[in-house]
Chain A
Amino acid sequence: MNTKRHDIRRRALQTLLIFAAGSATLFAQRASVTQVIRLQVLELNTIDISGGPVTLKITDFDPETSNPSPAMSGATRLVWTSNGENRKITAESDRSGSKFDLRLSAQDVSSGSGVSSSDVVFSDNSTHDLIVGVSRSAGSCTLQFTGAATLEKGVGSETHTITYTITGS
């Protein structure tokens, strides 16, 4: 009699345990795992020129100035991207001296991506600010070159290699 009662109790306990185990699953119907990822963005400054080599041909005479008429370029564009703070774009010629005048103006600088500095005159190979106040932006501008000469400089040809650099202010 006692054994029978004991068996009944044991079976009841087993049933309860199975039910409890089943119920627990209702509240644990998910599993998660985590991954740690490390994100980083380094300072980067990229710059490029579109439009190819520029040729300025001075062929006309300006009666008003009694000098040859300056020649101007048009379609060359400078594009850049910088995620740094307060950077500037400089321009520099590889020629230490030049016979003819070469002037550069950055025009139509895209909004919010810097400010055009004053026109650059490449009389030597010194570095000149072209665009200042470049911060966290992608920008572009038109590069307008002007070549000029006086009659006294005679004829000839000069080739400049202009290098644009994004640098700290």
Chain B
Amino acid sequence: MKKTIITLALVAASSLLVESAVAQATATQNLNLAVNAIYKISTSGNPGALTITTGTPGSDNLTSVTDNSTTYSITQNYANTVKITANLDAALSSGYSLSINLASSKGTSAGAVDISNATSGSALSVVTGINRGADAGQMITYSFGANASAGTLSSTAKVVTLTLTN
């Protein structure tokens, strides 16, 4: 009888040991996560029409008009030396001028930059030294000027390209 009890106790103890030995199980999985170089830029839309309607008597430079109704946003993780360039689809005729000024909190704004003659092959820097991260809702200011000697200009659509690049 005593022998039986001892045997049963040993069996119970060994089964507990077995349980504790296999009560924990693991599985592993390899996971590779890569973050590529990312450049994103967007604008809030198109600015309103820039229409020159007045001038100062005796001055060939007509009164310029401005528009600051749009903004741009960027995200980039490439470097702290990224810039934004601007160019037109085609240069403006002589006597007309278009400047663009991009505000920036992550880089250095070049101020008002005359892009009248900047095309895809000669885009001009408008913001430089942009740090990694995001910059949202920064103001875009356009200024359109004309000389009286250039005559009138019927409503003309121009395409301005802003490029975020290294």
Contact = CB atoms under 8 A, between A and B. Distances in A.
Interface of A: 14, 18, 21-22, 24-26, 28-44, 46-48, 79-85, 136-140
Contacts of A139: 58
A32 B56 CA distance: 38
Nearest to B155: A40
A85 B161 CA distance: 34
Contact of A37 (B36, B146, B158): B158
A47 B76 CA distance: 52
Interface of B: 32, 34, 36-37, 39-43, 45-60, 62, 67, 70, 72, 78, 92, 96, 98, 140, 142, 144, 146-166
Nearest to B33: A18
A40 B45 CA distance: 19
A139 B43 CA distance: 42
Contacts, number: 165
25 contacts: A22-B34, A25-B36, A29-B39, A30-B165, A31-B165, A32-B164, A33-B41, A33-B161, A33-B162, A35-B162, A37-B144, A37-B159, A38-B50, A38-B158, A39-B156, A40-B52, A40-B153, A41-B146, A41-B153, A44-B148, A48-B57, A81-B148, A136-B151, A138-B58, A140-B58
Nearest to B154: A40
A83 B50 contact: no
A32 B144 CA distance: 22
Main secondary structure of the interface of B (DSSP, over half): strand
A28 B163 CA distance: 12
A95 to B, nearest CB: 25
Contact of B41 (A22, A31, A39): A31
Contacts of A39: 49-51, 92, 96, 98, 144, 153, 155-158
Contacts of B161: 32-34
Given A38-B50, A138-B55, 8 more contacts: A31-B164, A35-B140, A36-B160, A39-B92, A39-B98, A44-B52, A81-B148, A85-B151
Q: Sort A-B residue pairs by CB-CB distance and give the 8 closest, nearest first.
A: A79-B58, A31-B39, A48-B57, A30-B165, A41-B153, A83-B148, A25-B37, A38-B49
B107 to A, nearest CB: 15
A136 B70 CA distance: 33
B72 A33 contact: yes
B50 A81 contact: no
B62 A30 contact: no
A24 B96 CA distance: 41
B150 to A, nearest CB: 7
Contact of B42 (A29, A33, A82): A33
Contact of A29 (B50, B67, B147, B166): B166
Contact of B163 (A32, A40, A83): A32
